Homo-oligomer: A and B are copies of this chain.
Amino acid sequence: MEKSEKWLVGVDLGGTNIKFAFLSENGDILYRWSIPTDVSDAGNNIIPDMASSISQKLQENKQTTSNVKGIGIGAPAFMNMETGFIYEAINLGWKNIDIRSMLEQRLKLPVVIDNDANVAALGEMWKGAGIGSKDLLCITIGTGIGGGIIINGEIIHGTNGMAGEIGHITVNPENGILCNCGKHGCLETISSATGMVRQAIAEIDNHQESLLFTSYQQNGHITAKTIVQAAIENDTYALKIIDRSSYYLGLALANIANTINPSRIVIGGGVSKAGSLLLDSIRKYFNEFALPRVQMGADLAIATLGNDAGVIGAAWLVKNKL
C-alpha cells in the first residue's frame, strides 16, 4: 500500500455480532475482528462499544485517525442514508438513533451508513460475484430474505428507503402463510431458512424414510443446514423442499428481472451454501418465468464473499460516498 493511501473502516452491525475490518482503498481486507452486540439497555452500549473497539484496534495497528478516510456501516435498520439517522432497528432495540453524529463525535471521523442488504450488494459488486456488473440484483437468503438492487452502479433506495424488500414479494397470494410483516404469502415465508424448516416439519410424518425425519426424531428440530446437507446427499424429501423453495425464488427473481433487467443476480446468505444444487434449481424456474431477452441478459451466481460482504460493501461506501 502506498504511503498516501488511507485506510477504510468497514462495519457490519448485526443483532448478534459486530464485524469490523480495516481495508485498503482498493478493497483488500488488512485486518478484521468482531465483538458481540450488546443489545441490553435498548442497545445503548452499542455505539460506545463500536467507537472504543475501533480506537483500540487502530492503536494496536499503530494507526492514527489521520490515516483513516472514514467509517462505513451496514445496519439492519430503517434509516435515512443522507443524514445517517436510524429510525428503527428492531434487532438492536434502537429507535431514533443519530448514529452518524454519535460516532463522529467519538471518533472524529466521517461516517456513512446504509441498510445491511444494500451494503452486502455493494460488497459483491466491488469484490465478489457481482464484479463488472452495473445492474445487479442481490438476494440474501437466511432467516429472512433481503435484497439489494444496484442500477447503473448505484444502490437504489426508493422514496422512503424500502427498495429491495424482495423477501416480501407476494408469491402465494391465495393460500399464503402469515409473514412477520403482517402480510400473507411473502417469498420469505416459503424460501427463507425459516420457511424451508416450516415446510420440512409440516409433512415430516409422511416422510419417515427421509434423513430429515431421523434428524427431527433425534434433535427435536430441523435446521436449514440439515435440509441442505440432506439434499446434497440426495434425500428425496429434502430435494423436494429445495425444489419448492427454488420454484418461488425463480418466480420472484424472474418477475424482478422482467422489471429491472439486471445483468447479474447474486444469491447469498446461509441457504446459498447449498451451492450449485440450489443455483441450478433456481435457474430452471427463472428461465421458465423470465422473458427470453431478460434471461439472455442475466447471469445467476452464488455470492462469493460470505461474511465479508458487509464490511467490504461498507468500505465501498467510505471510498465512494465520503
Q: CB within 8 Å of B: which residues of A?
A: 78, 134-135, 147, 149, 151-152, 154, 156-166, 168-170, 173, 181-183, 251-252, 254-256, 258-263, 288-289, 291-294, 296-298
Question: How far is A149 from B159 in the complex, measured between Cα atoms in Å?
Answer: 13
CB-contact partner of A165 in B147, B181, B259, under 8 A:
B259
**Cβ–Cβ < 8 Å partners of A251 in chain B:** 170, 173
Is B163 in contact with A156, judged by CB distance below 8 angstroms? no
Residues of B within 8 A of A183 (CB): 288-289, 291
In the assembled complex, the CB of A265 is this many whole angstroms from the nearest CB of chain B, namely 11
Across the A-B interface, the 6 shortest Cβ-Cβ residue pairs: A158-B261, A159-B263, A162-B261, A163-B261, A160-B297, A159-B297
The contact sample of 30 A-B pairs, CB cut-off 8 A, is: A135-B158, A149-B259, A151-B156, A152-B154, A156-B260, A156-B261, A158-B261, A158-B262, A158-B297, A159-B262, A160-B296, A162-B291, A162-B293, A163-B259, A163-B260, A164-B259, A164-B261, A165-B258, A168-B291, A169-B255, A169-B259, A170-B251, A170-B255, A170-B289, A173-B289, A181-B291, A181-B292, A183-B288, A183-B291, A256-B259
Chain B positions within 8 Å of A256 at CB level = 259
Q: Which of B261, B293, B296 contacts A157 (CB 8 A)?
A: B261
Question: Known: A169-B255, A260-B260. Is A162-B289 also a contact (CB below 8 A)?
Answer: no
Q: Which residues of B contact A160 (CB under 8 A)?
A: 261, 293, 296-297
Q: How many copies does the complex hold?
A: 2
A252–B170 CA distance with the chains assembled, in angstroms:
9
Given A292-B182, A297-B160, CB of A166 within 8 Å of CB of B261? no
Chain B proximity of A290: nearest CB distance (Å):
8
In the complex, what's the smallest C-beta–C-beta distance from A29 to chain B, in angstroms?
Answer: 29
Minimal Cβ-Cβ distance residue in B for A247: B173
From A166, which residue of chain B is reached at the shortest CB distance? B259
Judge whether B291 and A165 touch: CB under 8 Å: yes
Contact indicator A297/B162 (Cβ below 8 Å): yes
Contact residues in B for A259 (Cβ distance below 8 Å): 147, 149, 163-166, 169, 256, 259-260
Residues of B within 8 A of A182 (CB): 292
CB distance from A162 to the nearest CB of B (A): 4
Chain B residues, Cβ within 8 Å of A262: 158-159
A168 to B259, CA, bound (A): 9
Chain B residues within 8 Å of A297, by CB: 158-160, 162
- Which of A135, A288, A291 is packed against the most chain B CB atoms within 10 Å? A291
Q: Chain B residues with Cβ under 8 A from A164's Cβ?
A: 259, 261
Whether A158 pairs with B291 at a CB distance below 8 angstroms is no
Residues B135 and A298 in contact, CB atoms below 8 Å apart: no
Report how far A125 CA is from B78 CA in the complex, Å: 27
B261 touches A161 (CB 8 A): yes
Extra inter-chain contacts (14) besides given A160-B261, A164-B261, A182-B292, CB under 8 Å: A135-B159, A147-B259, A152-B154, A156-B260, A156-B261, A158-B294, A159-B297, A161-B261, A162-B293, A165-B261, A165-B291, A166-B258, A183-B291, A259-B260
